[in-house]
Structure 1
Amino acid sequence: MRAKEPVLVSAHRCGAGGDRGLENTRVALENALDLAVDFVEFDVQRCADGTLVLFHDDWMWVGDRRVPLAALSFEEFASRAPHFLRYEEVLEALAGVTRAHIDLKFTSPDSLYAEAAATWEVQAARRAVQVLGADQVIVTTLEDKAVRAVRDWSDQEGHDLLVGLSLGRSVRGLPWHRQVRVRVSELLPRLRYTESRANLVVAKHTLARLGVAAFARRRGLPLLVWTVDTEDSLRYWMRPGRAWLVTSNEPALALTARDGFPRHRSGRPPRPPRTRRRPA
């Protein structure tokens, strides 16, 4: 009987833990690298001038107004976020050290999706592949059309790139019927995964337990579970075979939980399955 792969660990928002002020910052990044995690996860936003920065929310306070980051120049953003990192900075910091888990928080204008290579998401993915190599990168996003664009581009370029459709978006503030529609599409995601061509299943830990993990096994796709922080949950998800990768705000705790299980193999990420392109 073949031994199961150990579960890999991704440091969520660079492994900032419970301190929101450290999310996606150099301090958190350096701590994660010191831990020798398998992946560093970070959120990427796009400023109005096209500069990519590490930031979770798609808005920030300007005086007493919430202004979208997409409406701010890089200089305007930087003056209000003194601890930010540029996308280029984090790619360079990870090169030759560990792998990048890139969570894209922006989308392109609808007109750009007619040609995958023209989209902003593909531009970000292309740069990561140039700096790190396709086998050192995974790309995740909540948006089906963004997944499809990156997957189509990676196939055209011959890259074995893992691209995940994230399940578990916030439904706070939505009408109840839209909340139901979103959750049903996440608990029964076959159509979304087929149409987006995602080759990595990405699920909030609650949804993973409610059937998404079984869906990933049936499809033969690697499973990324987010965000797992408590000792009990980490002991569950770090058991070999439960997932391929676990994202945690507490990467040190996740590594300790993994050490409680025998390590049999290298933990290298699986190659993305070769999916047949559907006719346009």
Structure 2
Amino acid sequence: MRRVRERVQVSAHRAGAGDDVALENTRAAFVAALELEVDFVEFDVQRCGDGTLVIRHDPSFLHGDSEVRLADLTSAEAHALLPDLLTYDDVLEMLAGRRAAHIDLKASVARDPRHAVAATASAVERLGADGFVVTTGSDQAVRAIRDWSDEQGLDLLVGLSLGGNVRGRSVREQVRIRLSELLPHRRLQRSRASVVVAHHSLARLGVARFARRRGLPLLVWTVDTPRSLAHWLRPGGAWLVTSNHPALALAVRAARERRHLKH
């Protein structure tokens, strides 16, 4: 069993772009995050129609009056429309040897577990088995990655994400999903997740207590206010906290540690 560290780790969510949506997952955001003493840099991975993995949170974007899906474009076509779009390989190269990666595989990658495993294998090759945590909301993808890592003799951090967007689903389906997140034992057992990943509201509603009882590392997203950061960055509060404002998170953690030294 992997032991949870005393010091809560900090991850720069979407490369720490803050409130600037246009900056999310961009090279400028990664450069700024690497200048901070964050422990992890988080980014979102989508899949283009030709199989190329790119860094973007949403699976589609507006071009003029039309909504364009990355899954309908080749990598070259996507870059023509989004010149600042980074590839997965770009980001792995930037982070290698500098910061640990928090790799969030979106549905366009994770819906086929083979693609999720291939993305994880690339991360192992470029970052090393201890150089990243990979997360996704797909139970099947988590299970496939865990099974693959066992076959390779690797002890990877693989997280099942709880608390994602359920808009567009029927009320019955929304209720079913939320109950499975508040009582995640069966999903975690079936997926074999080695990390519990929860939105901060779900974590407060009992998921954090669940993770602690079972000795599983807890990754909490996305924590941005000073009060909430102070709560989750206390020793034992979580293993890793992601924030859109990593500089603030680091300042809150440092202030807590200074107070502890005084006492």
Query: Shared fold by TM > 0.5?
Result: yes
Query: SS in structure 2 opposite 1:83?
Result: coil
Query: SS in structure 2 opposite 1:134?
Result: coil
Counterpart position of 1:268: none
- Number of aligned residue pairs: 255
Q: C-alpha distance in 2, partners of 1:181/1:243?
A: 26
Conserved 8 A contact 2:110-2:138: no
Counterpart position of 2:44: 43
Where does 1:241-280 land on structure 2 (aligned, <5 Å)? 241-262=236-257
Q: Residues 70 and 135 of structure 1: is their aligned pair in 2 closer, same or farther, counting only changes over 3 Å?
A: same
Paired amino acid for 1:183? R
Counterpart position of 1:10: 11
Counterpart position of 1:71: 72
Q: C-alpha distance in 1, partners of 2:179/2:107?
A: 24
Where does 1:50-61 land on structure 2 (aligned, <5 Å)? 50-61=51-62
Paired amino acid for 2:125? Q
Counterpart position of 1:95: 96
Counterpart position of 1:186: 181
Paired amino acid for 2:223? V
CA shift for structure 1 position 61: 2.4
Q: C-alpha distance in 2, partners of 1:109/1:19?
A: 27
CA shift for structure 1 position 62: 4.0
Q: Residues 69 and 4 of structure 1: is their aligned pair in 2 closer, same or farther, counting only changes over 3 Å?
A: closer
CA shift for structure 1 position 109: 9.0
In the alignment, structure 1 segments of 5+ residues that lack a partner are 114-118, 264-280
Q: C-alpha distance in 2, partners of 1:25/1:16?
A: 8
The list of structure 1 runs, each at least 4 consecutive aligned residues, that deviate by more than 3 angstroms after superposition, is: 106-110
Q: C-alpha distance in 2, partners of 1:17/1:150?
A: 30
| Percent pairwise identity | 60
Counterpart position of 1:27: 28
Counterpart position of 2:261: none
Conserved 8 A contact 1:52-1:86: yes
In the alignment, structure 2 segments of 5+ residues that lack a partner are 259-263
Counterpart position of 1:223: 218
Q: C-alpha distance in 1, partners of 2:201/2:76?
A: 39
Counterpart position of 2:163: 168
Where does 1:192-207 land on structure 2 (aligned, <5 Å)? 192-207=187-202
Q: Residues 157 and 142 of structure 1: is their aligned pair in 2 closer, same or farther, counting only changes over 3 Å?
A: same
CA shift for structure 1 position 98: 0.8
Q: TM-score, normalised by structure 2?
A: 0.93
The Cα offsets for residues 135-175 of structure 1, whole Å up to 9 and x where unpaired, read as 01110001111101111101110111100000011122222
Q: C-alpha distance in 2, partners of 1:60/1:221?
A: 36
Query: SS in structure 2 opposite 1:35?
Result: coil
Q: TM-score, normalised by structure 1?
A: 0.88
In angstroms, what is the RMSD of aligned CA positions? 1.7
Which 10-residue stretch deviates more, 170-179 or 8-17? 170-179
Query: SS in structure 2 opposite 1:70?
Result: helix
Q: C-alpha distance in 2, partners of 1:224/1:188?
A: 17
Query: SS in structure 2 opposite 1:198?
Result: coil
Q: C-alpha distance in 1, partners of 2:5/2:61?
A: 44
Q: Is 2:119 the partner of 1:124?
A: yes
